[in-house]
Amino acid sequence: MKEHRIRHACRLALATALLPFAVGTSAQSAMHWKGTVSRAAQPTHATTSGLPNPLDADTRLADGFDVQRFEAVANQLVANGRIPGLAMAIVKDGRILSARGYGVTDARNPQPVDAHTVFRLASLSKSFAGTVTGMLVNDGVLRWDSHLTDYVPAFRLSAPNAAQQVTVADVLSHRVGLTHNAFDRDIEANADYHSLTMKLASAPMKCAPGDCYAYQNVAFSLIGDVVFATTGQFFGETVARRIFKPLGMHDASYGLEGIQASARWARPHVRGGGGWVPLTPKPTYYRVAPAAGVNASISDMAQWLLAQTGHRPDVLPAPLLATLHSPLVDTPSEIRGAAWRRTRLSAAGYALGWRSYTYSGHQVVFHGGAVQGYRGAMALLPGKDLGVVLLWNSESALPSGLLPTILDSALGLTDGTWLDDDIDIAAPSETLYATEPAKTPAGVDSSAATASPF
């Protein structure tokens, strides 16, 4: 216990010392941020109303936090075909507590989901885009306040001189000035990326660049053009070289070809004919790769959580993480919606490829994602040095309540029920495993499965 307190005190002192310098070098130069967040010289200091210090006084989890219980709930979620497959990872204090698969990859040709089964990440991909851009800023070859038109000269918006005002940080925090989800319907209609970016020139504007938030996929993906102009490498190649390979994310890839080339991958499913129908993945959102192009296994995502919680400083230094996770614009609509959001969230903002929430007084760094047949959610609880990610291969919302259930347990919150009534979170985990149907695989953890070649 004494050793734990000393270790925590050292971590707290280090974070406190580094935070003011998160963007203080020439690479992460000071900027003036626009929007509903108070204007601050450095993005690490920009705070959404009520956002607490991300470091709690004590990083220990509340009594009763039981990883086996959450694994048992995951088994319940896939039991009897409620959903086809699911994968979950939980990391704490730089250790992987769980990284397992549950259920099957394909309802018609069932193979067990394991730690190296690849899922489509959808908008969880945005965290990779923000992070690789931050790495280039750290390198000194790019600035957060660099103008998009310096790298994409053909970029245009409908308002006079608006395009010239858009910065790299505006793109990554959805502050381009367009109305929300501009041209997403065209993505669904199979339009190519170049045509979509050209259409931005005639799209209606919601506000001046930097002045408001509106979620984007097409405009967000312009960051890929910036990365290409800066590095001379295609965006996916840069992410693979700078993130996937050094972090040991050996199953990760970009694009439809990437997932189909995987040794093991989970097919997307939709409801039909009284059950789950597997499909071929749509290529549409893969065309906006920075916004929605990553494929990864739960083993990969456990490594991603470790890096994002500060345990791979050789790849992602603490000052960069502080910048990436600090909100730049308020997103109050995020407080509405699911019951756990209405109950737990008192403030919400968007950072650089990540969302930032105030969750019952604690900072939670979050992102969710969904495309046809796949859904996922991930969250970091910086004050507790905890990370959680869930991936599943169906359109069901059933697993969504497991993530806030885990966060509640970590914080000792007992006044919320976010899972369906017939999911027994309180039952002894031994009982839950005992009642699991034999046809539902228990899952394979990261230490037992073999990674596919990079």
The model's pLDDT over 18-38, given as tens digits with 9 standing for 90+, comes to 333 233 332 333 333 333 333
Q: Residue 52: what pLDDT?
A: 54
Specify whether the CB–CB gap between 405 and 344 falls below 8 A.
Answer: no
Query: What number of other Cβ atoms are within 10 A of residue 108's Cβ?
Result: 12
**Residue 97 in tokens:** 């507590």
Q: Residue 424: what pLDDT?
A: 72
Give 16's pLDDT tier (boundaries 50, 70, 90): very low
Q: How far lies 434's CA from each of 83, 430, 440, in Å?
A: 19, 6, 12
Give 423's pLDDT tier (boundaries 50, 70, 90): confident
Does residue 430 surpass a pLDDT of 50? no
Buried b (16+ CB within 10 A) or exposed e, 366-379: bbbbbbbbbbbbbb
Q: Residue 427: what pLDDT?
A: 52
Q: Residue 428: what pLDDT?
A: 46
Residue whose entry in the numeric block shows the structure tokens 């509106």: 214
Question: What pLDDT, in 10s, does the model give residues 358-412?
Answer: 999 999 999 999 999 999 999 999 999 999 999 999 999 999 999 999 999 999 9
Q: Residue 438: what pLDDT?
A: 31
Query: What number of other Cβ atoms are within 10 A of residue 229's Cβ?
Result: 13
Look at 5 and 129; give whichever has higher pLDDT. 129
Does residue 136 surpass a pLDDT of 60? yes
Specify whether the CB–CB gap between 73 and 425 falls below 8 A.
Answer: yes
d(CA 347, CA 357): 6
Reduced to 3 states (helix: H, G, I; strand: E, B; else coil), residue 451 is coil
Give 57's pLDDT tier (boundaries 50, 70, 90): low
- For the chain, how long is the longest CA-to-CA vector? 66
Q: Residue 273: what pLDDT?
A: 85
Does residue 328 surpass a pLDDT of 50? yes
Q: Residue 55: what pLDDT?
A: 60
Q: Which of 27-36, 91-100, 165-174 has the lowest mean pLDDT?
A: 27-36
Tell me what the pLDDT averaged over the chain comes to. 86
| The one-letter amino acid at 285 | Y
**Residue 425 in tokens:** 């979170």
Residue whose entry in the numeric block shows the structure tokens 């737990």: 344
| Cα dihedral sign, 340-342-343-347 | positive
Question: What pLDDT, in 10s, does the model give residues 254-307?
Answer: 999 999 999 999 999 999 988 999 999 999 999 999 999 999 999 999 999 999
Residue whose entry in the numeric block shows the structure tokens 């001379």: 232
